Every structure is written in structure tokens, then in C-alpha cells.
Amino acid sequence: MALNHPLYWWESLYNPQEIKKINTLLKRDLISTRAQQGADGVIKTSKVKGVPWKKAKPYLNKFYESTLFRNNYAFGFQLFSLNEEEHLIYNVYSSGSEYGFHQDGTKEGASDIKLTALLNLSDSSYEGGDLELQINTTVKVPELNVPGNLVIFPSFILHRITPVTKGTRKSIAMLLLGPRFK
């Protein structure tokens, strides 16, 4: 499958005041989830919690709608609607935390994870913690380093978060599913 645009980003989807409010609201809704384990055989040292979509929807619907808009514009994947029982993944990377190269996917059911959407929710400065994609070569994605920015890419692209060297990096991931690739 050839992609014209393997990556899209949206600048300033949320402002600093909205980010603080979102982090406060997320903290009350966090739950344990299977996503804490990460991909098989891959280093993942961030603190991970799930956020039920039905609780996050009132304050993160713009995140979801923006991702769907970009999918229609750039990728054209057939996606299922986000079910209220599904979870978003809230990652907190403190100094030394990282997540090695991996693909977002599932081995269950009749669907595939097709799009990964990442939103930077950091409310203080940090260093390191860069998103890198493996597209023939390793490509750094500086757009995700800005709080409030959204980055979207196909889930089958290898990607990682480099170690945070100073401060705390916060992000939320939305993994959107669709019918199995054929």
C-alpha cells in the first residue's frame, strides 16, 4: 500500500489552559488497562493508564473529530466508530522512560488498528521523549514535542518514544480500528 502522506499533524489543537483542565479531568477517570504491558518484547517504561472513551469524550471529542477529518483527507482508511467502552491510552514519561520501536496492532478479532493518533498533554517542560518513525530511515517528528499538538500516522509504521532526559512528558494515544487489512 503506497501512502502519499505517512504522517499528519495538527498544531495547537488545545491551548495550555485546556491541557491543564484535560489533565485534571483525566486523573479522576484513569484505570488499569492491558496497554500498560506494551508490545511484546519491546522496552516500555512509561506509566500507562487507560481512560474510558465514554468519560473522556466530553473533553477530548475535538481530538477524535480532528483525527477522523485527517483520515478522510489523507489516509482514507475505513474505520469503526470509537465505541464508548474502548479506552484511550494515557502515557506519562518521567526521566529515563521510553518506549522502543513497535507497531500498534491487535491479534484478536476481525479488525486491525489502522490509525494511531497522539496528543501531547505535557503541562511542564521536558527534554527528550521524541517520537521517531521508521520510514526507510529513522525520522524524528518534532511536531509532537509541542503541547496541544496532534500527530496522526498509520499504526503499522514502526515508531518509538526516545528516553526522556529531563522533566515529564504526557501524552494520550487513540488507536482507531477498522476491518482487517486484505
Q: Is residue 4 part of a domain?
A: no
Residue 159 within any structural domain of the chain: yes
Position 54 in a domain? yes
Does residue 47 carry a pLDDT above 50?
Answer: yes
Tell me, yes or no, whether 147 lies in a domain: yes
Residue 61 scores a pLDDT above 90: yes
Residue 49 grid coordinates: 493508564
Q: What is the pLDDT of residue 138?
A: 93
Within-domain flag for 19:
yes
| Torsional class of 167: left (φ above 0), alpha (ψ -120 to 50), beta (otherwise) | left
d(CA 22, CA 155): 25
Is 27 inside any structural domain? yes
pLDDT classification of 182: cutoffs 50, 70, 90? confident
In a domain, 1, yes or no: no
Residue 1 binned pLDDT confidence (cut-offs 50, 70, 90):
very low
Q: Which domain holds residue 110?
A: 11-179
Instruction: Count up the domains in the chain and report the number.
Output: 1
Residue 68 and residue 36: Cα distance in Å, rounded? 25
Does 6 reside within a domain?
no
Q: What whole-number percentage of the chain has pLDDT above 90?
A: 79
Query: pTM for this structure?
Result: 0.93
The confidence score (pLDDT) of residue 2 equals 39
Query: What is the number of other CB atoms lying within 10 angstroms of the CB of residue 135?
Result: 14
Q: What is the pLDDT of residues 137-178, one digit of tens each?
A: 999 999 999 999 999 999 999 999 999 999 999 999 999 999
* CATH assignment of the domain containing 158: 2.60.120.620
